[in-house]
Amino acid sequence: MTSSKPVEAFFYGLYMDPDILGPLGVVALNPRLAEAQGYRLDLRGGKAKIIPEAGASTWGLTFELSPSDLKSLYRTEATQGYAPFELFVTGPDGTQRPVSCYNLPLDPQAPADSVYLAKLLPVARKLGLPAEYLSFLDNLSNPTSP
C-alpha cells in the first residue's frame, strides 16, 4: 500500500512557481520560502540543478505535495535524469527541516543557458526571494567560472 501522506519538497527552479505547477495538474500546498545552505544553483545545459559548494546557498520554495504528484513531475521528457535526494533547508526564521528534492548531476562541459535564466529571474522576483540571491541570479548572466 502506498502512502498518501504529503511530502515536503524543495523547488529551486521554475517549478517553485505555483502558476507553473497548477497547469501541470499538481496540487502544491503550504508554500514556504527556504534556503538550501551549502548548495549553489547551476543552469548549465538549460536545466536547473544545485551543486554542493561550501559557503553557497540556493533559495526556493517548499511545497507539500502528494507522493504521486511529486513523482509525476519528474517522469516527463523535460525532467529526465532528475533523481530524488533528501536535504535540510532553512526557513527565513532560521528553523531547519528535512525535505525531498530532485536534482541533476553537474555537466561541467554544458554551456550556460540564458534562456532558462530569463524565465527564472521574473519568477524569483515575483516570489520575493531575498535581494542578495536576486543579485546572484542577475550575475549568472555574466558567467565568470565558478
> Which helix or strand (DSSP H or E) is residue 52 part of?
strand 49-65
What are the pLDDT digits (tens) for 47-98? 999 999 999 999 999 999 999 999 999 988 888 899 999 999 999 999 999 9
Cell numbers representing residue 133 in the block: 540571491
Q: Per-residue pLDDT for 1 more than 60?
A: no
What are the pLDDT digits (tens) for 31-51? 999 999 999 999 988 899 999
Give the mean pLDDT of 123-139.
Answer: 94
Q: Per-residue pLDDT for 143 more than 60?
A: no
What is the average pLDDT score of the chain?
90
* Rounded Cα–Cα distance for residues 50 and 24 (Å): 23
Give the mean pLDDT of 118-127.
Answer: 95
* Rounded Cα–Cα distance for residues 21 and 15 (Å): 6
CA contacts within 13 A on the Cβ side of 60: 30
pTM above 0.75, yes or no: yes
* SS3 category, 104: coil
What are the pLDDT digits (tens) for 8-24? 999 999 999 999 998 98
Question: What does each C-alpha distance from 122 to 103, 118, 127, 128, 129 come to in angstroms?
Answer: 22, 7, 9, 10, 11
* Rounded Cα–Cα distance for residues 118 and 116 (Å): 5
- The least confident of 24-33, 61-70, 107-116 is 107-116
Q: What is the pLDDT of residue 112?
A: 78
Q: What is the pLDDT of residue 3?
A: 56
